[in-house]
Chain A
């Protein structure tokens, strides 16, 4: 098992290397650069060239990349071109808020979606199932940024019970943190939750129609136990795969939601850095996201084994 994990983590290295090269090139090919932004509207080519030289942006892109890579390998991810701060400091100060938001959203999605999905699956095409399936089309169809703004208007402006934006870390007290977290977390979770309801419903219907369920029922096991112990556990394998994908999506969805709620997370940092052509910060954030996706994939693969003992990934992979 340990060998398997080490092997999988080793695979991250080429993934990160290739993605960092691709990201670096794409960013530099995009029109505009930080020098022209720093120089302001009233600067001319001369001033911009001088600032480019000052920032080292006049060197060939490949030289800049190698330079960055050499730094990155020693833990130095460079300095923001825009505000002169260490890129790593900027990025890591954002990881906490983003994780707080993404994980809360996932928890909300799981707690709401899986029970509802199971409920709908108990009587496929029954009245409850039709209502649930029907209602889930709404959050999928409604863009979550719109839902976010409506939620702000209702809960902050009219009801005045939740803040319209901002952030409080858990160190300020869980209640305070939760107050700021509820709206963005629900907004971020909305469409994913609906997708997860449909997904768990389908998985559950499939699993409940298996022979072993019939066997279990005929053995006289209680319906509750059959559904939870035999049905749900088997349905969870595809659901966990889905959850992995969702956790990834939450990071990209967070870019918009974080901007709307002035949430100081990585998504917002990424959007701002791209707008500012702050190459090294973009590079850092995207690499962290790539690593995040890779890690989630690994965790999902490991979870398969835990949920379904028939899947013994580790041995297969390593012996293969």
Chain B
């Protein structure tokens, strides 16, 4: 596990994906905790940390987790829906507490049993057979059967379920058979080596509940917590599910309070009214750490990006887009805007992804002379562009100003617009913006192939940059369906080179979510899914 100090400035440090947690201060401490919790770290740059190792030792000596207690977590936004299919953003801790998935991916992307005890994926990746546990019940007492799995997987295709991410994936499953109560057999319409990503994301729901009259106000899952109360836009309360099939949770109760103003949310943590807060503004993290709070960053679930509308005549020439890519000072973005939390990279992947390649990444360095030369090559002498930064994401609004001054040095005028979220979404989804747009994307922490099914900015046929090319479609196809390891590596390399050459989408740095908690709250875990936090192993240290 890692805290922020470990993540901070650790450019391209190999990160194993599990939430790595390091006590507030201590370079040695950081390394000790990292090695203890993770298996493969080859670089930890802890330049931002100081102190000795006593805290880490204290951490290690803190004793075994104990049962009991309740914590109150602050979040800036409420859950949108109680339906496990409508998964969005950083609300995953909620869904993960209420619902279960069929498998759980470990830090090496290997599936581990959850509701599914064992499985068999055919050699051609065209079919999958699952054997379910037979001791699982929903919160209302009903037994979980294969019919629930079939229902949950098939329903997400329906647009009315509002789960477009899962829908793309599910539409590649051609049939689901349930020969008996604990067996599920799936066949696919094309090879799906990355099917476990889908199983990791799909929460199993109860048909009667989600189609019932009280669907908007009840959640009936099989997870370790039950929903005790939900007051929309105010708070919700989770209580331990005593009939949970797995290890019971340590906490008796979790209360999540919606705290719409980030500054007052931070003060509520400091004054002890909240035990933990999520989605903490990056600029507050260091100060909170200095005040003995534990700050933890999730493994990156995606990156911050700038997309260029390739239908905009000024940006149709890839050399112009490359020039902009070279004018992006990613290190400065990480250091100044993200307070060091994240890794600068021009490639779509987190730096521990099998598709990541440092040598290729380094070919797009911050180089204004190169940018100027590329513009000259393209015959561009005067250029004025808009950038539409997502107004709900302060780091992007801040970075747009930095980019504006960098671009000014090579004679490009940048007009910064920061529309509020609904307007930004509209521009992003319809591709009707002018010039550039900046936002966050997710889903880069699965198998590389899943990115192209889950994240719209990357889809070959319909993406944020309005970019299409046969080469890109072929490169995506190659890395999505190849199983041979050597061929796959080559497919990744070819994709990465093409991606930087076309520069229609320019990742800035990986995007980590930050959770800060009181020192006594321990055991924050994390799911790979979208980098959300996991409440299953959280416990409270007794005074």
Contact = CB atoms under 8 A, between A and B. Distances in A.
- Asked if chains A and B come from one complex, the reply is yes
A14 interface: no
B-side interface mostly? mixed
B273 A43 contact: no
A47 B80 contact: no
A80 B88 CA distance: 18
A165 B216 contact: no
Interface in B133-181: 159-160, 162, 164-165, 167
A214 B499 CA distance: 88
A67 B455 CA distance: 36
Nearest to B456: A42
Contact of A164 (B217, B268, B430): B268
Given A32-B421, A262-B258, A268-B233, A41 B440 contact: yes
Contact of A83 (B81, B421, B429, B442): B81
Given A164-B267, A166-B273, A269-B233, A38 B462 contact: no
A38 B217 contact: no
A309 interface: no
Given A164-B273, A259-B260, 20 more contacts: A32-B420, A41-B428, A41-B439, A41-B442, A42-B443, A51-B160, A53-B159, A83-B216, A90-B232, A148-B264, A156-B271, A156-B273, A163-B273, A164-B267, A164-B268, A165-B264, A261-B264, A262-B257, A269-B233, A271-B260
Given A42-B454, A44-B456, A268-B233, A33 B426 contact: yes
A93 B281 CA distance: 30
B234 interface: yes
B430 A45 contact: yes
Nearest to B461: A44
Given A32-B425, A42-B455, A156 B267 contact: yes
25 contacts: A31-B427, A32-B426, A41-B428, A42-B165, A42-B442, A42-B455, A43-B429, A47-B159, A80-B232, A83-B79, A83-B81, A85-B232, A148-B264, A149-B263, A149-B267, A152-B271, A156-B268, A156-B271, A157-B267, A160-B272, A163-B273, A164-B271, A262-B259, A272-B233, A275-B421
Contacts of A272: 78, 233, 260
Interface string A237-273: 0000000000000000000000111101000110110
A275 B273 contact: no
B24 to A, nearest CB: 19
Nearest to B232: A83
Contacts of A163: 271, 273
B459 interface: yes
A37 B425 contact: yes
Contact of B271 (A46, A54, A157): A157
B264 A262 contact: yes
A36 B164 contact: no
Contact of A36 (B426, B443, B455): B426
The bracket for how many chain B residues form the interface is: 35 or more
Contacts of B421: 32, 37, 275
Contacts of B215: 84
Contacts of B423: 30-32
B231 interface: yes
A271 B77 CA distance: 12
B231 A93 contact: yes
Given A149-B264, A259-B261, A40 B426 contact: no
Contact of B159 (A54, A148, A262): A54
A53 to B, nearest CB: 8
B524 interface: no
Contacts of A45: 429-430, 462
Interface in B444-461: 454-457, 459
A153 interface: yes
A90 B167 CA distance: 30
Contacts of B203: none
A58 B426 CA distance: 15
A69 interface: no
A264 B233 contact: yes
A227 B133 CA distance: 83
Nearest to B457: A42
A82 interface: yes
Interface in B237-282: 257-261, 263-265, 267-268, 270-273
A41 B273 contact: no
Nearest to A167: B234
Contact of A268 (B260, B267, B428): B260
Q: Lowest 3 A-B CB distances belong to which pairs?
A: A32-B422, A50-B159, A84-B216
A48 interface: yes
A277 B426 CA distance: 12
A153 B264 CA distance: 9
B111 interface: no
B164 A47 contact: yes
B525 to A, nearest CB: 24
Contacts of A168: none
Contact of B267 (A32, A42, A48, A153): A153
B411 interface: no
Nearest to B234: A264
Contacts of A165: 259, 264, 267-268, 273
Pick from B86, B233, B425 the residue with the most CB of A within 10 Å.
B233
A176 to B, nearest CB: 14
A287 interface: no
A86 to B, nearest CB: 9
Contacts of B260: 259, 262, 268, 271-272
Interface string B68-96: 00000000001111000010110000000
A39 B426 contact: no
B198 interface: no
B441 interface: yes
B476 to A, nearest CB: 15
A42 B441 contact: yes
A153 B160 CA distance: 46
Contacts of B86: 38
A37 B162 CA distance: 10
B456 A43 contact: yes
A33 B261 CA distance: 23
Contacts of B164: 39-40, 42-44, 47
A30 B260 CA distance: 22
Nearest to B443: A42
B53 interface: no
Contacts of B430: 45
A82 B422 contact: no
Contacts of A43: 164-165, 429, 456
Interface in A183-219: none
Nearest to B258: A262
